[in-house]
Amino acid sequence: MKNRIYFVFLFNFCFLIGAFSQQDTTASDTSETETELIPVFILNADDLENEMQSQDVSGLLQASRDVFNSVAGFNFSAARFRKRGYGSENFVVMLNGVKMNNPESRWAIWSVWGGLNDITRYQNVTNGIGSSAHNFGGVGGSSNIEMRASSLRKGTRFSYAITNRTYRNRIMLTHSTGMMSNGWAASVSLSSRWANEGYIQGTHYSAMSYFLSLEKKLNDKHSIGLVGFGAPTIQGRQGIALQEVYDLEGTNYYNPYWGYQNGEKRNARVRNNHVPMVMLSHYFTPDETTKLSTTAYYQFGRAGQTSLNWQDAKDPRPDYYRYLPSYYQSDYPNIAAEFTTAWQTDENTRQINWDNLYNANYKNLYTLEDADGISGNSITGNRGKYIVEEARTDPKRFGLNSILNKKVNDRLMVSAGINLMSHKSHNFKVAEDLLGADFWVDIDKFAEQTSEDGTEIQSDLNNPNSVIEQGESFGYDYHMNINKEEAFAQAEYKMKKIDVYAGLQVLYTTFWRTGNMKNGQFPDNSFGDSEKQNFLNYGAKAGIVYKLTGRHFLSVNGAYLTRPPSIRNTYASPRTRDHIVDGLKSEQLFSGDVNYHLRYPSLKARATWFYTQVKDQAWLRNYYHDGYNSFVNYAMQGVDYLHTGVEVGVQGTIASVFVVSGAFTKGDYVYNSRPTAAITIDNSSEVLAKDRTVYLKNYHLGGMPQTAASIGLKYNNPKYWWVGADFNYFADIYLPPAPDRRTAESVDKFVITDPQWSEVLDQQKLDNDYTLNVFAGKSFRLKSKYFLMFTLNVSNVLNNKNFITGGYEQLRTDNSDINRFPPKYGYMYGTTYFAMASLRF
């Protein structure tokens, strides 16, 4: 069946090439296309949540004029597709030439400027390795969003949209003056998105976005520009769960993060982010062939997410494994039946029971001796067993960026640039809500059982027995510091039959941790500045385009680069100490692609073979281990990846009114090494394992389809209305493998013929699946200057609610019961829509 589906798509591509290569008429598509980013399912399991969220680069793909990228951006993102299997760190996103990838995670966090669609819709996109006038780029590609006031489309645009996705309503207003006769240009954009509850039960959404760009033309050679923007967002999060829980609930969209409080739904996981940015730019054009743009920038703000915390109390999470029927099924079937009934009939069983949390605090009268480290200071009150805490990562980043573009002659163009950046993030947590308690005591609940003299349990020996009131920080407090100096240069040379380019990059990075608390477990390496880590990295790329004819092109690109390890994979437990993982080194990337391009007025196509190898990457995760009653740190070194595959994109026009488009990719994204792992306990210096071999080689990278295909048909009526549909198919989706299950230690009590051997080692491949999307629109021209447009996009029209788009194997395992911690899954939304009316003048 799978081979037949592949054949159908390839047959259609061949048919399109044959059908359109003889046509030279250009279809007139006078409609203004207007689409909304398809929401990507977000995995919200602790640290994994941010990782999965930030892999989405569909906004970059949508902005590309490349046939494959534009189709993939609109139709593949709902299945959590990743272009060529790359993570977001392999794509460079710039605003006004300033790199926006987060210095710590290396991901581009699109939500920082979310809601500014009118401003960010026009991007200069480089596909994969290629020439870029703004930056060396990444192996996945790069994008530069121009925010200069004089470059933005002149006019006013107002729009209102309704949807049933993450939010329900969106309103947006944008006005741009263009360059006026007095030498000034201005652009302003405002938007709001909101929902009392989104598609997933218990979620809510409230976001504002603002943008201001001013430019003053001093003379024919000099202009000054000022840009400021931000997107404050408050969002109730969604989680994913075990299949057992979905079956008990009768829905694949169970959300464990909420419960009723006073008759209203309250979410325990609320994200509250606002990271605005200001840029001051100088534009210098000494002549028609030279342009120098220099930008000083500053970014600051807050990024936080709440969650439940508890001391000396039962786990409050409703889907905790000991609260599920499966935990009792083998030994106590009667108790399992009682839990099944409770899950199916009692809201307080399957969701957070906020009343129980408050009552536990109300009943916990407690006298704390030597409070705040003051001998004889006693405090009596209701000590908190449960609280809502907010984990914060508040960034401050400033820098200077300068880019020179010089057209030497009709054939030679050179570009060069420098970027100086200093980044500091403040990492801490605060008591967001004491849930009726009078105070919270700042001690390490995981160290409490092992402490002999009481010092080990202190989060901060400089402030022992600290009494925490609502809004105060506790637990951990440290800064991450990163300084970078970066330079690149590139030359492009065009000839009659051949175009070539080459580029170089050099990067120097320094980073370190600054502890603001002296941890009781690690008093000697938790407070103050750590040793600084320094990395010198470089990169080179080159490419050639051979013009077979004016319609047919061949191109080859290649790159080799090194880059520093992510700071988030460097410190084993930055919350408690500055210990560096063993064997830290720079990563290496080898990448290349071969492309065939076809360009006719009524037919565009690209076929690509790509290859990328990533070597020496570090991998670090923290998870709770029941046996040690503590979090453990699992660090791997020498993690290699191999990405190979093909991409094909085709778009053609029939009879001036029908547009047929197709995209197909088949990749093979695998681990390409046997890393070594070190396992340490978070709240002690004990090493559980060192140099443990992890047999990951040839396991597939998980969490995305490695095969995807789409074919679509659009009808453009001469009276300015259009309608279309896209059928999309996804295959080869794997769960990410948990590393410790792929070790000799995990199967040492089995023989190879035991069925448990395969259960432990095999990687789960998810079912292939499909979606059907439809869209329509109509535009009107009113009194010559007004343009009114209505659009409708409906995703997953067939309401397929059984499409597992991803998930993960739980990192914690139980060797006595290999099914104790089964995988968690995430499902694609059912039918969703986005309808909008816009007025432009």
E runs forming strands in 408-497: 412-433, 440-441, 467-468, 473-494
Dist CA 208 CA 190 (whole Å): 8
CA distances from 27 to 65, 604, 655 (A): 16, 13, 8
CA angle, residues 12, 17, 20, in degrees to nearest 5: 115
The confidence score (pLDDT) of residue 624 equals 84
Convert the pLDDT of each residue in 450-477 to its tens digit. Answer: 556 678 899 999 999 999 999 999 999 9
Residue 617 confidence class, pLDDT cut points 50, 70, 90 = very high
Q: Scan for tokens 């029971």, then name that residue.
A: 353
- Give the model's pLDDT for residue 816: 74
Tokens of 330: 């083998």
d(CA 664, CA 98): 33
Reduce the secondary structure of 716-778 to three states and give it as a string: EECCCEEEEEEEEEEEEEECCCCHHHHCHHHHCCCCCCCHHHHHHHCCCEECCEEEEEEEEEE
Q: What are phi and psi of 427, to 5 degrees?
A: -110, 120
Number of other residues whose CB lies within 10 A of the CB of residue 841: 13
Phi and psi dihedrals of 325, rounded to 5? -55, -35
813-822 contacts at long range (C-beta below 8 A, 24 or more positions apart)? 813/738, 813/740, 813/741, 813/746, 814/626, 815/746, 815/749, 818/756, 818/759, 818/760, 819/759, 820/321, 821/321, 822/242, 822/243, 822/244
Is residue 120 within a helix (H) or strand (E), and if so which, with residue range?
Answer: helix 117-120
Q: Are 36 and 836 in contact (CB under 8 A)?
A: yes
DSSP annotation of 521: S
Tens digit of each residue's pLDDT (9 = 90 or more) over 788-829:
999 999 999 999 999 999 999 999 887 778 888 999 999 999
In tens, the pLDDT along 205-215 reads 999 999 999 99
Burial call 333-356: b when 16+ CB within 10 Å, e when fewer: eeebeebbeebeeeeeebbbbbee
pLDDT tens digits, one per residue of 495-517: 999 999 999 999 999 999 999 99
C-alpha dihedral sign at 5, 6, 11, 16: positive
The predicted model gives 44-51 an average pLDDT of: 41
Q: What is the pLDDT of residue 625?
A: 78
Gap between the Cα atoms of 675 and 635, Å rounded: 10
**Rounded CA separation 514/422 (Å):** 15
Determine phi and psi for 395, rounding to 5 degrees: -90, 155
User: Any idea which of 55-64, 431-440, 642-651 has the lowest mean pLDDT?
Assistant: 55-64
Whether pLDDT at 64 is above 90? no
Distance CA 160, CA 169 (A): 8
Mean per-residue pLDDT of the chain = 91
CA distance readout (Å), 343 to 348, 593, 658? 9, 52, 52
CA dihedral 164, 166, 168, 169 (to 10 degrees): -130
Adjacent-strand bridge partners of 503:
490, 541
Report the DSSP beta bridge partners of residue 233.
207, 273
In the chain, what percentage of residues exceed pLDDT 70?
92
Q: Are 75 and 661 in contact (CB under 8 A)?
A: no
Could you tell me if 281 and 295 are in contact, meaning their C-beta atoms sit under 8 angstroms apart? yes
| Cβ contacts of 367 within 8 Å, gap of 6 or more | 378, 379, 380
Decide if pLDDT at 35 tops 60. no
- Over residues 709-768, the pLDDT tens digits come to 999 999 999 999 999 999 999 999 999 999 999 999 999 888 888 888 988 999 999 999
Reported as a pLDDT band with limits 50, 70 and 90, residue 176 is very high
Q: Which helix (H) or strand (E) holds 11?
A: helix 2-20
Q: Which residues of 116-131 are buried (b: 16+ CB within 10 A; e: fewer)?
A: bbbbbeebbbbbbbbb
Task: Report d(CA 31, CA 719) in Å as an integer.
Answer: 10
* CA 592 – CA 271 distance, rounded (Å): 39
In this structure, the number of other CB atoms found within 10 A of the CB of residue 274 comes to 18
In 24-182, DSSP assigns E strands to 91-95, 98-99, 123-127, 141-145, 155-163, 169-176
Please give the Cα distance from 61 to 55 (Å, whole number): 13
Distance CA 357, CA 316 (A): 8
* pLDDT per position as a tens digit, 266-325: 999 999 999 999 999 999 999 999 999 999 999 999 999 999 999 999 999 999 999 999
pLDDT of residue 450: 58
Q: How far apart are CA 840 and CA 175, in angstroms?
A: 10
Q: Residue with structure tokens 């047919």?
A: 552
Helix, strand or coil, per DSSP, at residue 529: strand
Which amino acid appears at position 579 of this protein?
A: H
Q: Can you tell me the distance from the alpha carbon of 483 to that of 509, in angstroms, rounded to the nearest whole number?
A: 6
Nearest to 727 by CA among 707, 705, 703, 708: 708
β 302-310/258-261 pair status: unpaired
The predicted structure's pLDDT at residue 211: 98
498 CB-near residues (< 8 Å, 6+ apart): 544, 545, 546, 547
- pLDDT at residue 201, rounded to an integer: 97
**What integer pLDDT is reported at residue 652 of this predicted model?**
96
- Gap between the Cα atoms of 100 and 61, Å rounded: 16
Please check whether residue 9 is in contact with residue 766, taking contact to mean a CB–CB distance below 8 angstroms: no
> Is the pLDDT score of 48 beyond 80?
no
DSSP 22-46: T--PPP---S-----PPPPPPP-ST
Please enumerate in sequence order all residues whose Cβ is within 8 A of that of 377, keeping only pairs 6 or more positions apart, or say none. Answer: 369, 370, 371
Nearest CA among 389, 370, 380, 574 for reference residue 464: 370
Residues 34-48: what's their mean pLDDT? 32
> What residues have CB less than 8 Å from 453, skipping those under 6 apart?
none
User: Which pLDDT value is given to residue 65?
Assistant: 77
- Please give the pLDDT value at position 61: 52
Closest CA to 559 of 508, 614, 640: 614
